[in-house]
Amino acid sequence: MSKTLTVRYFASFREQAGIDEETVSLTANTARDVFELLRKRHRSAEPLRHCKVAINDEMANWDSPVDDGDTILLFPPVAGG
Amino acid sequence: MMRVTSEVIRPDELREQLNDPGAGAYASFEGWIRNENEGHEVRRLEYESYEPLAMKEGQVVLREAAEKFPILKVECVHRVGMLEIGECAVWVGVAAPHRDEAFAACRYVIDQVKVRLPIWKKEHYANGHSGWVNCERCAAHGHIPDAEAVGR
């Protein structure tokens, strides 16, 4: 069943997608599913292993379940300091 | 406390927060903007963060440091926005009874902050190009002449 999700992009992801946020309807169970589906849609080459995800402003992991109405934050590889 | 700010970081003022009669040691780390990376001349660095989670995750890191090491106080400030060469991008300060734990906690905080907080930096090069640090696609699409350089 497809879920309606708000997805936010940051830094390089925002530049690749050309938007900072979108509402999408996806058949996805986990954060990993969301990443992979949107990665194809936005033709991103960034491998998942260096990226991070948050769901509704909580740090999550790629196996975290996504629910209808969730806001998914996709973080490209971080580089603080 | 963890803070993310677009204001200039002034370590001399920040260290005042760490004063403690039980402290026999103060260790700090400052990350500065360097004019070179991987052979490329860098003109300035642009930092972006997702502040709500950078603050939250930063607090978790500081709490971990206080649990792992017998220290008295620990603070961290990370700058965002456009920074010029020589400016301070991040400051960590630790007060502890003894130097070993002050050094160790300081090292722990900066190492974790670099790999865990949602903060990104874009290098602006002397040749007019720019590139996000650690971004593989930026490297693959040659945003900078020697794309391999940032493919880390």
Structural domains of chain A, count: 1
Instruction: Specify the CATH number for the domain of residue A65.
Output: 3.10.20.30
**Residue A81: inside a domain:** no
Instruction: Answer yes or no: do B119 and A80 touch at CB < 8 A.
Output: yes
Full residue range of the structural domain in which residue A45 is found:
3-75
Q: Is B136 in CB contact (< 8 Å) with chain A? A: yes
Where in chain B are the domains? 2-127
Can you give the pLDDT at residue B137? 54
CB-based contact A7:A39 (threshold 8 Å)? no
Q: In this structure, are residues B26 and B11 in contact, taking their beta carbons and an 8 Å threshold?
A: no
pLDDT above 50 for A15: yes
Q: Are B46 and B133 in contact (CB under 8 A)?
A: no
Q: What is the pLDDT of residue A47?
A: 87
Tell me what pLDDT residue B38 has.
Answer: 87
The pLDDT of residue B136:
63
Is B129 in CB contact (< 8 Å) with chain A? no
Q: List all residues 6 or more positions away from A22 whose beta carbon is below 8 Å from its beta carbon.
A: A6, A7
A80 inside domain: no
Instruction: State yes or no: ipTM above 0.90.
Output: yes
CATH number of B2-127: 3.90.1170.40
Per-residue pLDDT of chain B (152 residues; tens, 9 = 90+): 999 999 999 999 999 999 999 999 999 999 999 999 989 999 999 999 999 999 999 999 999 999 999 999 999 999 999 999 999 999 999 999 999 999 999 999 999 999 999 999 999 999 999 999 987 655 554 444 333 343 33
Give me the residues paired with residue B75 across strands.
Answer: B93
CB pair distance less than 8 Å for A79 and B121 = yes
Choose among A54, A73, A78: nearest Cβ to B120.
A78
